[in-house]
Amino acid sequence: MGVVVPLEDRSGAGELAGIEPLAQLVAPGMERVNAFILSRTGSDVAMIPEVANHLISSGGKRLRPMLTLATAALCGYSGDGDVKLAAAVEFMHTATLLHDDVVDGSEMRRGKLAARMLWGNEASVLVGDFLLGQAFKMMVEVGSLEALRILSEAAAVIAEGEVMQLSAAKNTTTTEDDYLAVVRGKTAELFAAACEVGPVIAGRPKAEQAAARSYGMNLGVAFQLVDDALDYGGREANLGKKVGDDFREGKITLPVVLAYRRGSADERVFWKRALEDGEIEDSDLTEAIRLLVRHGAIEDTLARARHYGAIARDALGLFQDRPETRALLDVVGFVTARAH
């Protein structure tokens, strides 16, 4: 069962323009990125391209590499370094998905069986490692030590975020600050790095690099918070996974943090039994959603996502009004209002 919560962005007119303006602007570059990705998944070990292409070709939006191309174009970059860095960003993202599904024991990814269900956990982890290795090779080829530093630091921060999430898993006393720290590491850091390397390879001032990073970081936080809300309030057909997967996996996400803090002693006993002890009954997801709705936890999670979206918009104020700037603003509306 899922309670469908309205996800429209209420921050202003025209916010539902979506991702299409960005996709159109970077379409030529993305064709090169996609070709580059396919060329770098090749291996004499047959299982590697099979596993990698299962996920790479599964219909992801490729938002992160599009952000790299857009921020580089916004800063007047000319060359092919943006294409290689965009491909590296997508490889990093794909590797983390392969690893995440193993850690979480996930069965579905983007509406298809997760790679681990078809090839096993060991293959998923090792192919993820292969993709990370390819990503770093592409970074080196660009020849920018600063871009290499940013993305390599991002890889370390993402891993730290994953470990932080393991520490917070099944811990109902997790605070909102603790959870947001996990989000910044696990999800938002790659958004931030993907945006920051654009002005870096364009040789733009530090202020513009910092502004692009701020845009990506806050966009990434908003993205994850919407995901958290969708897990309880989305439509299963649009999610590419089952409604309530976070609940079944014992994940403590922001809606749960808010409902737990606002709930009664009896309600906290319910959350502890279901999430800490893992004693989940058939009716528990329905009860969890009822409590989340009762305490406004889903809507308040979306409100926080809109807050971080507003910070992302303001970060772009440093840049000139260009098609790329407007498209990046539209992406914020897409992230905070998406239905999948």
- pLDDT, tens digit (0-9, with 9 covering 90-100), for 137-195: 999 999 999 999 999 999 999 999 999 998 888 899 999 999 999 999 999 999 999 99
* Among the four given CATH numbers 3.30.1180.20, 1.10.600.10, 3.50.50.60, 3.30.70.2740, the one describing domain 16-337: 1.10.600.10
Average pLDDT value for the chain: 91
Domain boundaries, the chain: 16-337
Look at residue 243 in the predicted model and tell me its pLDDT: 81
Q: Closest Cα partner for 308 from 278, 336, 340, 280? A: 336
Kindly indicate the confidence band of residue 58, based on its pLDDT and cuts at 50, 70 and 90.
confident
pTM beyond 0.85: the answer is yes
What is the CB-side half-sphere exposure of residue 296 using CA atoms within 13 A? 4
Kindly indicate the confidence band of residue 7, based on its pLDDT and cuts at 50, 70 and 90.
very low
DSSP 106-142: -SEETTEE-HHHHH-HHHHHHHHHHHHHHHHHHHHHH
Look at residue 63 in the predicted model and tell me its pLDDT: 97
Distance between CA atoms of 130 and 123, rounded to whole angstroms?
Answer: 10
User: CA–CA distance from 42 to each of 36, 51, 130, 292, 335 (Å)?
Assistant: 11, 11, 11, 46, 32
Q: Kindly state the average pLDDT of the residues 32-41.
A: 94
**Lookup: tokens for 97:** 């998905």
Q: Kindly state the average pLDDT of the residues 204-215.
A: 98
Confirm if 192 and 164 have CB atoms less than 8 A apart.
no
Kindly indicate the confidence band of residue 10, based on its pLDDT and cuts at 50, 70 and 90.
very low
CA angle 324, 330, 332 (to 5 degrees): 115
Burial of 50 (0-12, 13-18, 19+ CB in 10 A): middle
